[in-house]
Amino acid sequence: MTQTILDKIKAYKLEEVAADKAAKPLEAIEAEAQGASPVRGFSDRLFEASRTGYGLIAEVKKASPSKGLIRADFDPAAIAAAYAAGGAACLSVLTDTPSFQGAKEYLVAAREACDLPVLRKDFMYDTYQVAEARALGADCILIIMASVSDAQAQELEDAATTWGMDALLEVHNAEELERASRLSSRLIGINNRNLNTFETSLDTTRTLSKLVPAERMIVCESGLSGPEDLSDMAMYGARAFLIGESLMRQEDVEMATRNLLANPLSPSGMM
């Protein structure tokens, strides 16, 4: 079978993790995680924000494989502070370098610059990465259902729970959603972008939102650009949003964030 983009990412990520483990064994990273700054409740903050307004997870994203460089004057701490001042509930920080020009240090810098809970946005396969996420200060991890087995997803979720972190379960189709629903995390991320083809359509949320169990929270991810997109998606029950590119392209990130969140549809306006 031909290798997909996710397969390629997985291959280099497993090599990276092996090298990281050799440089810093599990016991050492666990000791760092033990001493890390206390967890900020990610899921709680998102639920709270989305009760009346929209829960925004604002992403610190320098570049992507589909768009190339997104923001040249990239200062993670300044961006994090602007997102917080603009009303974001949480942050997401890319720590993958080969595909996203992200870095572990960006997560540390972004989290130190504000008081928001932070998602480590990376491709997770090994519980070592979960301990490492906590050591860096992360409050939530991403589990991409398309890229892991059920057993792996369970193991990663359990590790997150052990460290007091939340997990965002990312899905792109009904089969992945069904698998995610068997895990216990409350956060279901519907990714509007297909990570293998980069095709992006809000129809993904329109279709899958109906299948998300009522007790879970939909996090509508990718391809969102203005307040109209948010009200459109809110009609399908999405009250939480993960947004990177469209905010990162703004000169005044704080103002753009504030404008995006200014007029939320009331929760009763849902279909």
The CB-of-189 to ligand IGP minimum distance in angstroms stands at: 7
> Of the candidates 121, 46, 70, which has an alpha carbon nearest to the alpha carbon of residue 253?
70
The type of residue at 220 is C
Q: In sequence order, which residues have a C-beta less than 8 Å from that of residue 191 and are 6 or more positions away?
A: 170, 171, 172, 204, 221, 222
The type of residue at 230 is L
Residue 243 sits in the site that holds ligand IGP (CB under 6 A) = yes
Return the number of the residue (82 or 242) whose C-beta is nearest ligand IGP: 242
Return the number of the residue (145 or 242) whose C-beta is nearest ligand IGP: 242
Residues 91-120 that bind ligand IGP (CB under 6 A): none
Contact region for ligand IGP (CB under 6 A) — 14-22, 46-54, 150-158, 219-227?
219-227
Residue 59 sits in the site that holds ligand IGP (CB under 6 A) = yes
Buried b (16+ CB within 10 A) or exposed e, 115-127: ebbbbbbbbbbbb
| 94, 117, 133, 203, 223 from 59: Cα distances, Å | 8, 12, 16, 22, 12
d(CA 137, CA 118): 8
The CB-of-262 to ligand IGP minimum distance in angstroms stands at: 18
Residue 242 sits in the site that holds ligand IGP (CB under 6 A) = yes
The CB-of-31 to ligand IGP minimum distance in angstroms stands at: 28
Residue in this structure with the two tokens 């946005």, named with its chain if needed = 121
Residue 221 sits in the site that holds ligand IGP (CB under 6 A) = yes
Residue 176 sits in the site that holds ligand IGP (CB under 6 A) = no
Q: In sequence order, which residues have a C-beta less than 8 Å from that of residue 34 and are 6 or more positions away?
A: none
The CB-of-191 to ligand IGP minimum distance in angstroms stands at: 5
Return the number of the residue (30 or 65) whose C-beta is nearest ligand IGP: 65
Which structure tokens are listed for 51? Answer: 């009760």
Q: Which of 139, 170, 176, 254 binds ligand IGP (CB under 6 A)?
A: 170
Chain contacts with ligand IGP (rule: CB under 6 A): 59, 61, 121, 144, 170, 191, 221-224, 242-246
